[in-house]
Each structure stands twice: as C-alpha cells, then as structure tokens.
C-alpha cells in the first residue's frame, strides 16, 4: 500500500511540474465561461427557470446540490413500502410482490439525494476536487440502507415481508459517494475515496431510462449492470479512480483496495473503461473483476441457525469476471440506446465459512455474516453461473421540454446446478412449481422453479413521458411491465407485474 501511494503522489508531482511544458502540445479541454447568475435568485420563478448548472447554490467554489423525487402509482402485484430500501417499493415483479395496491413511490425517476462538492484551483490548470453525497427516502427521511431492509425482514414468513434487498447503500453518510482528488484539463482527474464503479457510470449514460427505479430493469437492480453481477460492487468504498479524455477518446481505470473491514462489498476489485464519440455515436466498454464479492440475504422463517441472531445476515460469495458495453446515437430530436453485459460467477478465492477467519466477517452496514455453511455459501458456483443482460431504447424530444422514451430489457441465467448433481436430478429440481392456490393459506403457491440455480429469464418493457415546465422541475408519468420465469422466479408468488407511476422531481 505504501508503494502504491508513493507512486500516486510521485506521479501527481511530476505531472504538475511538467504539465506547463506539455500542455501547449496537447489538446486542452477548456472550462466553459461561468454563466451569469445575477438575477436567478430574484424570484422563485427566476430560480425555477434557471437550471442547476446555470444557477448553482455556490459560494467560494463550494456547491450544495441535490434532487428530491416524490411520486405515487398503482401496482398489480405490489411490494409493501420499506422505509430503508433505496426504492421504497418495487415496481418490477419480485419475491415480495403480492396483491394489487395504490402506493407511494419515492425516487421513481432518480434517487433523492443531497451533496456538497467543490473545485479549487491551486496552480494554472490544476485543481483540488471533492464530492460528498447522501441518498435518502423523501417520505420516511431514512438514509438509504439495503442491508437494514433485509434485517427488518429476517426470520419472517415471505407473505409477511415488505420490500427488501441488498444494496451498496448501507446507511453511510456518503452512501452515494465521498471522494477527494486532483483534476487537470489536459491530464485528467485522479480521485480517491468512496466512488461509483465505472460500470455504474456507463449505466447512467447509456440506459434510455437513465437508471430509473420505476421504469428501468438495470436501474432497479444494480446486480444486473451497475455492479456487474453483484449490487454491493456498484460502489467501492476505498478506491482510486483515474479518468482522462483525449479529443473524442476517453479512458478510465478504477481499483478497490481493502476489503470487508474497510466497508467494501468485495475483498478486492478493479475495472477498466474505454470510450469514444464520433458523428453522433457514443460507445463505452468496461471490463470488471471482483474477488469474493458479497451478496447478502435474509434467513428464511424458522431457519435461523443456533448462535445467529435476527441482526445477522446470510452471505453468498463469488469471484465475478464481467464485461459490459453501451452504445447510443443522437440525431436531432432522436436518441437511440443499446447495451449488453456478460458476467461469469465462480466460487470465491477465499473460504470465509471454514478458514482461520473464525468469526466470519462484518458486512456492509455493520452486520455480521457468521462462519459455517448455513451462514456463508462458498460453493454456489461450482458450476459457473452465466448472467447475460441486454437492453434497447429510444427517446424522442417532442419539444425541448417534453421527451417520450420507450425501452426493453432482458436478463437471463443458465442452469448452474450444484456439483455432483446428475443431469436427471438437475432436470427434476428445475420443474415448474404449481400455480394452484394453496389449500392451507388461500395464497398462490410459489412460482418459477424450486431452486434459484435453474435457468431462467426476465423481461421488462417500459414507457415514460417527461415534461419539464421549469428547468429544475420534472413532471413525469409512465408504466413498466415485468415478467419473470424459471430460476429467476424461484420463491416468487407472482411472475408478472404492471406498475404505472407518476411523480415530480426537483433539482437544486
């Protein structure tokens, strides 16, 4: 680690010294002139009519910024509201989807958040930069915390659970990001701290729905794209990230150092990105590797093992190799989007369930994964799991303040049944569950297959109308239809859902 920081600090010093000599020979991306903000605070109308970029809440290079997104909707198979989970509710069909309901839908278009950032020049062309941002639920005012939503449903019958899922946001003060760094117009930007993975940056840029929770499958589930196989690796808590642009080309690299005890979702990870813009086209491709990536889950009702408490969580570990590519094309009022991801899961490098780490480990949010096969799975991917995700979409600007967007998403996995299971036994284990109502409870029996390791697929179609009567205000409405089958529907009460949603988003 000392060697790494010596290299980083030494490189920054050398770049600063020779930057003046080289910058005359290299293309320089100049900062745009600061916009006039003389009258944007004159009235509420003037403030709302100016964008956050035109009229920031800034003083001496420090800016306070954020968004508040509130809405409501109806769901054919609703998942009950959670005050802790990022989404509050789930518009995509899920294991906690039950009967039809009208419901509050926080963060439908994007995550509500507030942050502070700054950029301070310390030499010609060089500046210190920083950014700290926290996300929250605008209804409950709770800080987004996926692991806490799991704990709240631990050892609870599925029929009694509300919305819950793992997340890289685990109640941290900087649960979205918190980093510092150095930036240069020619030589790029080097930052360190808690940062979004490069794959998350790609999703933000190439998802036609912009990573929306209520209208996008890859926005709803970071496991599918932003985390490239694991939602906890959508952000690295201790990382170094370097980004540079040369004419229409760009490149980036990100390294997560440290492990679980430093608040990370893996025991080491890295990503590389290459991208370009040409004649209206943009493309980026990211390669990713995560070692011992963690996926947290609840204990089933009545299955809490001896020595475990309701505050402990189960963990599944995997080494994940993945790649993702995003493409878009803009021409006048039209924008076209597309992307593809391939992720391969294999058993983890380290055996946290049985080795000298006798006390298991502390997960995101400060919860414990106890040792032992009942608590930590290290053999789930003896036969490698292959996850593939693809999407297509288009946006048409009906007028400058009104956009219509449509999108289609598809995810699928192979049959990665446990080692030692015969083909005949695997086929029997992956037969569809009964769709008849349970005579004992009256509730529909679980759908899909009995086992999550069976092949399966998920499809989502969505449409969104986004009107901006003011530059700071989005008034939006849309609908998402989702359906799931096979192993991806294992443990679900229902396999389809339709969820219309409308809301308001204020940007400041």
**Interval 38-65: pLDDT, tens:** 579 999 999 999 999 999 999 988 999 9
Q: What SS3 string covers 102-136?
A: EEECCCCCCCCEEEEEEEEEEECCEEEEEEEEEEE
Cβ 175 vs Cβ 113: under 8 Å: no
CB atoms within 10 A of CB 189: 17
The residue with greater pLDDT, 306 or 146, is: 146
**Interval 478-491: pLDDT, tens:** 999 999 999 999 99
Q: Is the pLDDT of residue 69 over 80?
A: yes
Of the listed ranges 246-260, 303-317, 403-417, the least confidently predicted one is 303-317
Cβ 40 vs Cβ 46: under 8 Å: yes
> What is residue 172's predicted lDDT score, i.e. its pLDDT?
95
Q: Is the pLDDT of residue 12 over 50?
A: no
**Interval 284-331: pLDDT, tens:** 999 999 999 999 999 999 888 888 898 999 999 999 999 999 999 999
Please give the angle made by the CA atoms of 341, 134 and 245, to the nearest 5 degrees: 50
Cβ 128 vs Cβ 122: under 8 Å: yes
CB-based burial, 163-172: b 16+ in 10 Å, e otherwise: bbbbbbbbbb
Half-sphere exposure of 267 (CA within 13 A, CB side): 12
Q: Is the pLDDT of residue 277 over 90?
A: yes
| pTM reported for the whole predicted model | 0.89
**Interval 88-119: pLDDT, tens:** 999 999 999 999 999 999 999 999 999 999 99
**Cα-to-chain-centroid distance, residue 213:** 10
Superfamily of domain 38-507: Porin (2.40.160.10)
> What is residue 443's predicted lDDT score, i.e. its pLDDT?
55
Task: Characterize the bridge pairing of strands 361-362 and 368-369.
Answer: antiparallel
What residues form DSSP beta bridges with 408?
392, 461
Half-sphere exposure of 107 (CA within 13 A, CB side): 29
Cβ 227 vs Cβ 168: under 8 Å: yes
- Collapsed DSSP state (helix, strand, coil) of residue 49: helix
Report d(CA 241, CA 11) in Å as an integer: 14
Report d(CA 246, CA 8) in Å as an integer: 21
Q: Tell me the CA distances in angstroms from 107 to 144, 147, 218, 496, one per residue in order.
A: 11, 18, 15, 22
> What is residue 101's predicted lDDT score, i.e. its pLDDT?
97
What tokens were used for 345?
A: 């899961």
Report d(CA 219, CA 110) in Å as an integer: 9
Q: Is the pLDDT of residue 135 over 90?
A: yes
**Interval 342-396: pLDDT, tens:** 999 999 998 776 544 456 899 999 999 998 888 999 999 999 999 999 999 999 9
**What residues have CB less than 8 Å from 401, skipping those under 6 apart?**
467, 468, 469
How do the domains of the chain map onto residue ranges? 38-507
Left if phi > 0, otherwise alpha if psi is -120 to 50, otherwise beta: which for 448?
left
DSSP tag of 145: B
Return the residue matching tokens 């499809």.
459
């Amino acid at each position: 680690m000392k060697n790494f920081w010596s290299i980083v600090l030494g490189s920054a010093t050398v770049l600063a010294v020779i930057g003046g000599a080289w910058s005359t020979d290299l293309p320089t991306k100049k900062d745009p002139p600061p916009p006039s903000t003389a009258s944007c605070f004159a009235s509420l109308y003037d403030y709302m009519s100016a964008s956050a970029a035109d009229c920031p809440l800034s003083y001496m290079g420090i800016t306070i910024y954020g968004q508040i997104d509130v809405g409501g909707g109806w769901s054919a198979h609703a998942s009950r509201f959670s005050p802790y989970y990022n989404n509050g509710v789930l518009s995509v069909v899920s294991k906690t989807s039950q009967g039809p309901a009208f419901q509050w839908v926080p963060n439908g278009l994007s995550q509500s958040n507030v942050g502070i950032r700054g950029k301070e020049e310390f030499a010609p062309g060089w500046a210190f930069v920083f950014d700290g941002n926290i996300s929250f639920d605008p209804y409950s005012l709770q800080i987004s915390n996926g692991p806490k939503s799991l704990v709240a449903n631990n050892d609870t019958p599925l029929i009694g659970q509300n919305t819950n899922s793992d997340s890289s946001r685990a109640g941290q003060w900087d649960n979205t990001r918190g980093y510092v760094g150095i930036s240069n117009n020619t030589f790029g930007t080097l930052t360190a701290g808690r940062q979004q993975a490069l794959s998350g940056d790609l999703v933000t840029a190439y998802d036609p729905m912009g990573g929306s929770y209520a209208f996008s499958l890859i926005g709803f589930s970071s496991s599918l794209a932003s985390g490239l196989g694991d939602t906890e690796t959508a952000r690295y808590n201790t990382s170094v990230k370097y980004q540079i642009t040369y004419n229409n080309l760009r490149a980036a690299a990100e390294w997560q150092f440290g492990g679980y005890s430093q608040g990370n979702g893996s025991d080491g990870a890295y990503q590389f990105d290459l991208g370009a813009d040409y004649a209206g086209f943009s493309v980026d491709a990211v390669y990713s590797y995560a070692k011992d990536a963690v996926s947290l889950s609840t204990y089933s009702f009545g299955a809490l093992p001896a020595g475990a408490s309701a505050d402990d969580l189960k963990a599944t570990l995997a080494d994940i190799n993945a790649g993702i590519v995003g493409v878009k094309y803009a021409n006048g009022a039209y924008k076209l989007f597309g992307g593809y991801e391939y992720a391969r899961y294999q058993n983890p490098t380290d055996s946290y369930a049985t080795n000298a780490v006798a006390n298991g480990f502390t997960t995101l949010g400060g919860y414990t994964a106890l040792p032992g096969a009942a608590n930590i799975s290290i053999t789930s991917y003896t036969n490698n799991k292959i996850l593939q995700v693809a999407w297509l979409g288009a946006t048409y600007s009906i007028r400058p303040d009104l956009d219509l967007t449509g999108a289609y998403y598809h995810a699928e996995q192979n049959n990665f049944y446990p080692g030692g299971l015969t083909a005949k036994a695997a086929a029997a284990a992956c037969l569809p569950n009964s769709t008849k109502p349970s005579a004992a409870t009256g509730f529909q029996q679980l759908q899909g297959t009995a086992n999550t390791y069976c092949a399966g697929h998920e499809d989502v179609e969505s449409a969104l109308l986004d009107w901006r009567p003011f530059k700071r205000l989005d008034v939006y409405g849309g609908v998402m239809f989702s359906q799931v089958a096979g192993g991806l529907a294992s443990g679900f009460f229902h396999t389809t859902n339709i969820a219309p949603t409308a809301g308001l988003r204020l940007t400041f």
